[in-house]
Copies of this chain bind each other. A is one copy, B any other.
């Protein structure tokens, strides 16, 4: 059984949302599972010196054109959320809290959070919004709310982000396949080939 694909993403990253919609089909083709690893681009950008695309004069304009075009291409529902971008630490902690109990549930929840924000205009920047999505998915929102506040989950989330930075995860979405890095949703076809051929 091949190793899982590590999928690093920020819930506020529209290209991560696109990748979240495409990764399953890709992983299935290679009989791989996907480990969903939410990160926070804020701390990543502190190290990389980068800034959110939205805040960059020309690249922001390109992104605002490109993301809806990409979603139309793949049949992914999309509407620019407001506010954008948002803090995603509560949503990230919720995924890590759910993961150990039930990874499949954590993945379904992560997809629902992405959809709530990028398709349905729901603000998932605050804990309340995150828990509302959880409740819709049949998850115990009260328990999840407590878990989000748990110092152990907070520490785990921070450690996950720090570890991603150590692994040189320089943006989102970012993938590691057998330690080989792929950055950006545009690189999924290359990653597909890499897995098919076992590298080159």
Contact = CB atoms under 8 A, between A and B. Distances in A.
Interface of A: 44, 47-51, 56-59, 61-62, 65-66, 69-70, 72-73, 165, 168-171, 181, 183-184, 186-187, 189-190, 193, 200
Given A49-B56, A56-B48, A61 B200 contact: no
- The complex is assembled from copies of this chain, and their number is 2
| Shortest beta-carbon contacts, A-B, top 9 | A186-B186, A58-B170, A48-B58, A59-B170, A58-B168, A62-B170, A48-B57, A61-B168, A72-B200
Contacts of A58: 44, 47-48, 165, 168-170
Contacts of A47: 57-58
Given A47-B57, A72-B200, 13 more contacts: A48-B56, A48-B59, A50-B56, A56-B170, A58-B168, A58-B170, A59-B170, A61-B168, A62-B168, A62-B181, A62-B183, A66-B181, A189-B189
Contacts of A200: 69, 72-73
A170 B183 CA distance: 19
A116 to B, nearest CB: 25
